Amino acid sequence: MGNTIVETQIHDVKDFLGQTVSKLEGYLNETTLQGLQAEVAGNTEYYKLILSTIRRLSVFCEEGLEACQVIHKAQPFSKVAAEKTLYRIYNYCIEEFFSPKSDAWYEDSRSAYTGKNAIKYRENVPLSLKELIVSLEEDFQRIREELEYYETDYRTKILQSK
């Protein structure tokens, strides 16, 4: 892939992560466990898991954003570092959104065919949480499609270099 394409992707992903971090931080700064319970009385342990998963996603996105900012400013542009960063963002941010390690929610693989939202919850959750995830989902899907290339290509390059 040419430098210009990778540079454009770094810029796009940087913007995406900046918006994502802003939304996640805003939600986390305004939301408490008691606030979630006030919206919809539910399983406290599940709500703790949800908030923990959102914090984890926020940290991954912040780290990815910082890496993109460093690469974007660096002169000369390092295509190798950019590709490695995009690969890590795919694996840590995108994968964590659609299939979090905590299993707090999951992706309905049939959603692409039904036109409905892909994220499904294991238990009932408050509307504010659903709205947050819905507001993020379309952009996560778009970036996932753009970065899927790195999932296979970067891994192949690493294996071939050994």
- Tokens 């939202």 -> residue: 117
Count of structural domains within the chain: 1
Task: Determine the pLDDT at residue 98.
Answer: 95
Instruction: For residue 148, give both structure tokens.
Output: 């899927």
Residue 53 lies in a domain: yes
Rounded to the nearest integer, the mean pLDDT of the chain is 90
Residue 72 lies in a domain: yes
Residue 58 lies in a domain: yes
Residue 116 lies in a domain: yes
Percent of the chain having pLDDT more than 90?
A: 76
Residue 74 lies in a domain: yes
Percent of the chain having pLDDT more than 70?
A: 88
pLDDT digits (tens, 9 = 90+) for 47-77: 999 999 999 999 999 999 999 999 999 989 9
Helix axes 44-73, 3-30, angle to 10 degrees: 140
Residue 31 lies in a domain: yes
Task: Determine the pLDDT at residue 155.
Answer: 60
* DSSP per-residue letters across 109-124: TTHHHHTS-SEEESS-
Task: Determine the pLDDT at residue 131.
Answer: 96
Alpha-carbon distance of 107 to 100, in angstroms, equals: 9
The more confident residue out of 111 and 41 is 41
Query: Poorest-confidence range of 85-99, 120-134, 138-152?
Result: 138-152
Residue 157 lies in a domain: no
Task: Determine the pLDDT at residue 150.
Answer: 75
Task: Give the HSE-up count for residue 72: Cα atoms under 13 Å, Cβ half-sphere.
Answer: 15
Residue 162 lies in a domain: no
Q: Which domain holds residue 9?
A: 3-151
The pTM of this model reads: 0.89
